[in-house]
């Protein structure tokens, strides 16, 4: 017969796995008497777990939400997922805090709280998990997005991070072929997970979506890490998704919009918004091409005055001519 502590953990695990449990079924699953189940439930209540009794022929129990945080019980997958989430929260909030105004101190507080929680979780992890999560290094380059995240197996993220930590070549299926790469970093950007790596067959840096990677084992030989373009992973990834490696958009321009600065700031993900008079603002922003930049500015549905450069004015002319042709064809 298991010890009392082991039996309490087993009982708590069962209560977490479904909403309602008949007392007789719990007794059967734990291989104890119904009286023992009642005593164990009372012990868990003393520890702070809000377990409600359910009326019925056999009676039953339900684990509810309490006013205090009792001891928590996680399986291996939950512990790994929690560690990943806390790393993302800590790095993402720290990045946001670095660019936030003095009137917005909450991001820094969240980063510190996430870091403290990560330390607390690590201290109570069993050794077999602690070594795995210690190899996990995640950078949250971009702020959160409304787009649903692509599902990624936490075990895959751990395996990739372990290869990054050990500087071992990864072999994996990607698309229609097998890739060999020197893994550099795991990042999350705009709701997706990516591996930044040096592609050994293409002799260049590549960004691989983690949800499309199928690892092959074993890993390859160890390697000497290369210097990432841009100097750090955040600069590289930001530039990569903006069409370059400097972290800046390849096309940047400035306009005056006939809208209040507060309104434009609500819908400006990247860029600088400044007041330019009553119900007017100055917007400096960028995109991967001049037509794309002009289209992004046009979405504000307001009169626009282009400050510069001339390429942006030409892009507006190009779009106007294109839309005029579309209108003409539709009217014909």
Distance CA 278, CA 261 (A): 9
Q: Quickly state the pLDDT bin for 135 (edges 50, 70, 90).
A: low
In order of 144, 152, 191, the CA distances from 148 in angstroms are 10, 12, 6
Mean pLDDT of 170-197: 88
Quick one: DSSP state of residue 210? Answer: G
Average pLDDT over residues 282-291: 87
Please tell me the distance from the alpha carbon of residue 180 to that of residue 202, in angstroms, as a whole number.
9
Beta strands in 73-191 (DSSP E): 138-140, 170-174, 177-189
Residue 224's pLDDT is 95
pLDDT at 150: 62
Give 18-45 pLDDT, tens digit per residue: 778 888 899 898 889 888 999 989 988 8
Question: What confidence score (pLDDT) does residue 144 get?
Answer: 44
E strand or H helix at 284, and its extent?
Answer: strand 281-287
- C-alpha 226/C-alpha 230 separation (Å) is 12
* Most confident of the ranges 10-14, 60-64, 68-72, 114-118: 60-64
Nearest by Cα to 142 from 226, 247, 246 = 247
Candidates 141, 136, 138; CA nearest to 96 is 141
**148 or 214, which is more confident?**
214
Q: What angle do CA 41, 43, 44 make, to 5 degrees?
A: 65
Q: Write down all domains in the chain, each with its CATH number in brackets.
A: 4-63 (1.10.10.10), 76-240 (no CATH), 251-331 (3.30.70)
The model's confidence at residue 100, banded by pLDDT at 50, 70 and 90, is: very low
Q: Report which of 250, 318, 307 is spatially closest to residue 284, judged by C-alpha positions.
A: 307
Quote the percentage of the chain above a pLDDT of 90.
23
User: CB neighbours (10 Å) of residue 262?
Assistant: 10
Q: Give the model confidence (pLDDT) of 235-286 as tens digits.
A: 677 667 666 545 567 888 899 999 888 788 777 766 778 777 778 888 888 8
What pLDDT is attached to residue 234?
A: 67
- Which of 164-173, 208-217, 263-272, 320-329 bottoms out in mean pLDDT, i.e. has the lowest? 263-272
Instruction: Check residue 108 and give its pLDDT.
Output: 47
Res 256: pLDDT: 93
Number of Cα atoms under 13 Å in the Cβ half of residue 245: 10
Residue 197 near residue 181, CB atoms below 8 Å: yes
Burial of 16 (0-12, 13-18, 19+ CB in 10 A): middle
* Whether pLDDT at 96 is above 70: no
Tens-digit pLDDT profile for residues 182-193: 999 887 776 678
What is the percent of the chain with per-residue pLDDT over 70, rounded to a whole number? Answer: 73
Query: Can you give the pLDDT at residue 88?
Result: 67
Q: What is the per-residue pLDDT for 9?
A: 77
Position with higher pLDDT, 278 vs 150 = 278
Buried b (16+ CB within 10 A) or exposed e, 50-67: ebeeeeeeeebbebeeee
The segment with the largest mean pLDDT, out of 73-82, 94-103, 280-289, is: 280-289
Q: What is the DSSP letter of 61?
A: E
Residue 111: pLDDT band (50, 70, 90) is: low
Residue 105: per-residue pLDDT:
37
- How far apart are alpha carbons 43 and 17 in whole angstroms? 19
- 299, 298, 302, 296: which is closest to 280 by C-alpha? 302
Query: Which of these, 5, 172, 11, 193, lies nearest to 88 by C-alpha position?
Result: 193
d(CA 170, CA 239): 24
Element (H, E) at 108: helix 106-124
The better pLDDT of the pair 81, 161 is held by 161
Residue 80 has pLDDT above 60, yes or no: yes
What average pLDDT does the chain have? 78
């Amino acid at each position: 017969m298991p010890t009392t502590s082991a039996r309490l953990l087993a009982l708590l695990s069962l209560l977490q796995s479904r909403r309602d449990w008949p007392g007789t079924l719990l007794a059967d699953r734990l291989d104890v008497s119904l009286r023992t189940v009642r005593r164990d439930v009372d012990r868990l209540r003393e520890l702070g777990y809000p377990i409600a009794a359910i009326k019925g022929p056999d009676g039953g129990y339900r684990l509810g939400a309490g006013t205090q945080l009792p001891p928590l019980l996680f399986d291996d997958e939950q512990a790994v997922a929690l560690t990943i989430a806390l790393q993302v929260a800590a790095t993402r909030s720290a990045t946001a805090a670095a660019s936030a105004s003095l009137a917005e101190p909450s991001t820094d507080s969240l980063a510190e709280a996430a870091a403290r929680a990560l330390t607390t979780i690590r201290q109570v992890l069993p050794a077999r998990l602690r070594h795995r999560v210690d190899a996990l290094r995640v950078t949250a380059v971009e702020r959160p997005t409304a787009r649903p995240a692509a599902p990624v197996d936490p075990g895959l993220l751990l395996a990739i991070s372990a290869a990054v930590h050990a500087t071992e070549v990864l072999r994996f299926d990607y698309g229609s072929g097998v890739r060999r790469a020197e893994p550099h970093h795991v990042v999350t950007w705009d709701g997706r997970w990516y591996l930044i790596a040096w592609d050994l067959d293409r002799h260049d840096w590549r960004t691989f979506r983690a949800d499309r990677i199928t690892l092959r084992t074993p890993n390859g030989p160890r390697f000497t890490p290369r210097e990432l373009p841009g100097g750090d992973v955040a600069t590289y990834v930001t530039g990569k998704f903006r069409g370059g490696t400097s972290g800046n958009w390849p096309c940047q321009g400035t306009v005056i919009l006939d809208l209040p600065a507060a309104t434009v700031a609500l819908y400006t993900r990247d860029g600088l918004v400044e007041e330019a008079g009553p119900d007017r603002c100055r917007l400096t922003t960028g995109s991967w091409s001049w037509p794309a930049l002009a289209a992004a500015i046009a979405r504000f549905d307001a009169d626009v005055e282009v400050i510069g450069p001339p390429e942006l004015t030409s892009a507006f002319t190009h779009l106007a001519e294109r839309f005029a042709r579309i209108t003409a064809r539709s009217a014909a």
